[in-house]
A = this chain, B = another copy of it.
Amino acid sequence: MPDEDAVVPKVGIRDVARAAGVSVTTVSHVLNETPHTRTSEATRDRVRSIARDLGYTPNRLARGLRTRASDMIGLLTEEIATTPHAGRIILGAQEEASRHNLTLAIINSHLDAGADARRADARALIERQVDGIIYATVFHHEVSVPRELRAVPAVLIGALDRQGVVPAVLPDEASGAADLVALLADAGHRRIAFADSSIEVPATKGRLVGYLRGLEQAGIPRDDQLIASGVSEAGGGYTASLELLDRDDRPSAIFCYNDRMAMGAYRAAQELGLRVPDDVSIVGFDDQAPIAASVHPALTTVALPHYEMGAWAVATLTRLIQSSSTSWYRSTHPTWLPCPVVLRESVAQNNR
């Protein structure tokens, strides 16, 4: 390969124009298929083939400068890139962006870096002239969107705007939890326990609320004896489950706050000589990547729509951008995306 390290002098639209014997205007029109513009078929073919032969690569920076649109969207993640779920959000956003011919620029802000750092990060994105910004957080708390984000359309993932003015998308954990309870109820379970997380994060609420709603919809009276809690790790699931299972009127099913707690529940069951799912059904929440599928029996759980939220954010953002107008204000309701139940093997028919 002789020409392999030949230095390639960047070829610009001007070079194409010269080679084709037309003006740069014409080349631009042809290559962009500008509507309402007239160029003979012959010329267009010539321009196109010459551009290809020369290996013309448009310079998006220059284009962006002129059109005042960078075709980039910024993804500002607050501590999220650290979590195992992060990838899915990024992936969803990225693929949707690709679909719209946009590129994702990402910055991760550390939670403990403070508001100033976050504003600086937002500014960095804006300096890059991103057409819009996605602000993604781990736990859905209310945030007051940094002022700088107002310079550009923005959407939130996993958080609510305090002013209720920025579109937001969140997982509908309550419905997911309710669905899970419905599943258990349909399998004949009446005594369904909930191993709650003892940590107070807003997400907690949704799961508990959903659990209660599920019971109600199944016509099962609430029984606070069946609600225990522990730290949201395997250890917490273990202790909570032990408490729930180690008595005569033990429940026939345990709904764990998350998959890790469910692992603890498995252990508790095992130690008490109870088999899953034959003696006790166990379900989790999060569909945490390798856990749920690797455990035995495979864990029935609920998946968080990370990918979908990422994609939703980009889609919504592009809509906002298109509708240009300076009025991507006006209050909106947050969008709650469904959390699908993923059926595996940890639930059995109950016949007690």
A201 at the interface (CB under 8 A from B): no
A108 touches B127 (CB 8 A): no
Q: Which of B94, B151, B289 contacts A106 (CB 8 A)?
A: B94
Q: Give the distance to chain B from A223, nearest Cβ to Cβ, in Å.
A: 28
**What is the chain B residue whose CB lies nearest that of A270?**
B270
- With A81-B94, A94-B108, A103-B124: A290-B260 Cβ-Cβ less than 8 Å: yes
User: Does chain B have a CB within 8 A of A60?
Assistant: yes
Contact A106 B90 (CB under 8 A): yes
Closest Cβ–Cβ distance, residue A320 to chain B (whole Å): 15
Q: Which of A62-70, A174-182, A342-350 contacts B (4 or more CB under 8 A)?
A: A62-70
Our pick among B7, B64, B107, B293 for the contact of A61 (Cβ within 8 Å) is B64
A204 touches B (CB below 8 Å): no
Q: Is the beta-carbon distance between A83 and B87 smaller than 8 angstroms?
A: yes
Interface residue ranges of A246-304 to B (CB < 8 Å) = 259-260, 263-264, 267, 270, 288-291, 293-296
Residue pair A84, B289 in contact (C-beta under 8 Å) = yes
| A105 proximity list for chain B (CB < 8 A) | 72, 103-105
Q: Does B61 contact A259, Cβ atoms closer than 8 Å?
A: no
Contact with B along A92-134 (1 / 0, CB 8 A): 0011001000011111100000000000000111111100000
Query: Given known contacts A58-B127, A60-B128, A294-B263, is B103 in contact with A329 (CB within 8 Å)?
Result: no
A5 at the interface (CB under 8 A from B): yes
The residue among A58, A90, A267 with the most chain B CB atoms within 10 A of its own CB is A90
Residues of B within 8 A of A4 (CB): 150
Is A240 at the interface (CB under 8 A from chain B)?
Answer: no
Q: Find out whether the CB atom of B128 lies under 8 angstroms from the CB atom of A107.
A: no
Q: CB-CB < 8 A to A326: which residues of B?
A: 5, 7
Q: In this assembly, does A243 line the interface, its C-beta being within 8 Å of a C-beta of chain B?
A: no
Q: Determine whether A82 belongs to the interface, using a CB cutoff of 8 Å to chain B.
A: yes
Q: Which residues of chain B come closer than 8 Å to A7, judged between CB atoms?
A: 326
Q: How far is the CA of A5 from the CA of B107 in the complex (A)?
A: 26
Interchain CB contact under 8 A, A107 and B94:
yes
- The answer, among B238, B289, B295, for a CB contact under 8 Å with A234, is B295
Q: Which of A65-89 contact B (CB under 8 A)?
A: 65, 70, 72, 81-84, 86-87
Q: Is B87 touching A290 in the complex (CB atoms < 8 A)?
A: no
- Interchain nearest-CB distance for A294 vs B (Å): 4
A57 interface contact, C-beta 8 A: yes
Known: A61-B61, A105-B105, A127-B58. A84 touches B87 (CB 8 A): yes
In the assembled complex, 10 residue pairs joining A and B whose CB atoms fall closer than 8 Å, in A order, are A8-B151, A60-B128, A81-B90, A82-B91, A94-B108, A103-B105, A233-B294, A234-B293, A238-B296, A289-B290
Closest 5 CB pairs of A and B: A234-B294, A86-B87, A84-B289, A81-B91, A87-B87
